Amino acid sequence: MTMPEEATNTMRALKGLENGNPSVRLQAALAVGTDPDPGSVGRLIARCAVEPEFYVREMLTWALTRHEASMTVPLLVDEVRAGSAQARSQALHTLSKIGDRQAWPVITPALLADADDEVARSAWRAAVVLVPEGERHALAVLLAAQLGRGGRETQLSLSRSLIALGEVMVPALGAATTDPDPRVRTHAAATERLWRDPDAGFEFAVEEAKRIHALGGAGRKEP
């Protein structure tokens, strides 16, 4: 019995996901996404967990978004709960691209505070996409609790996630500007500045926040 051409093409593309050449893997992910097949979902998710190249992972995510959410979301949620750090991060990234709010329950306080920065950053981005309207204030409080964490990329990612929530994050951000920890205060003030002036740039906002806190600590008024 001869296999249909579509099935043969899908099998060939899925095999290509394991090729040692990243360009071949990229083309394979593109092919799978171009002709979605429910049988491909598990293999795509499994490849996300081990794929070393960023641009190939992005294509894998795109391919997953081409499939029905009813097939992808439950498996991605399972990956967030039980996968490796890369698997969890990429699954969260993919969930944010799919945007199905049925995945919201996987965004727990523990996940938002995950010790792995990449997982936490992906969780923050997914959270602001998936959060139900009635949970936005609580999410802002949980995100604000992470202010001061990590290096530039992590802090900028958190600032962007808070800003994406809009006005609802203002009280939590304001409270953080008086935190005893200077890193938290500076990050909160920089986020506030970036929210009010998106063109300022994160580094400028951080330096400006440090300057204002230094002047305030010296008992001087800002000119």
Q: What pLDDT was estimated at residue 1? A: 43
204 pLDDT higher than 80: no
Span 16-34, mean pLDDT? 96
Express as a percent the part of the chain with pLDDT over 90.
81
46-87 tens-digit pLDDT: 999 999 999 999 999 999 999 999 999 999 999 999 989 999
Cα–Cα distance measured from residue 215 to residue 218, given in angstroms and rounded to the nearest whole number: 5
On the question of pLDDT at 221 being above 80, the answer is: no
Give strand ranges (E) for the chain: none
Inter-residue contact 157 to 149 (CB < 8 Å): no
Token look-up 């950053």 returns 121
Judge whether residue 165 has pLDDT over 50: yes
Distance CA 141, CA 198 (A): 22
Q: In 3D, which of 99, 86, 6 has the Cα closest to residue 49?
A: 86
Instruction: State the DSSP code for 103.
Output: G
First to last CA, the chain: 83
Q: The whole model's pTM is what? A: 0.88
Query: Which one, of 11, 8, 97, 21, lies nearest residue 60 by Cα?
Result: 97
pLDDT in tens, 119-152: 999 999 999 999 999 999 999 999 999 999 999 9
User: Two tokens at 170?
Assistant: 């203002």
The burial of 163, by beta-carbon neighbours within 10 Å (0-12 exposed, 13-18 middle, 19 or more buried), is given as: middle
Phi, psi angles (nearest 5°) of residue 77: -60, -45
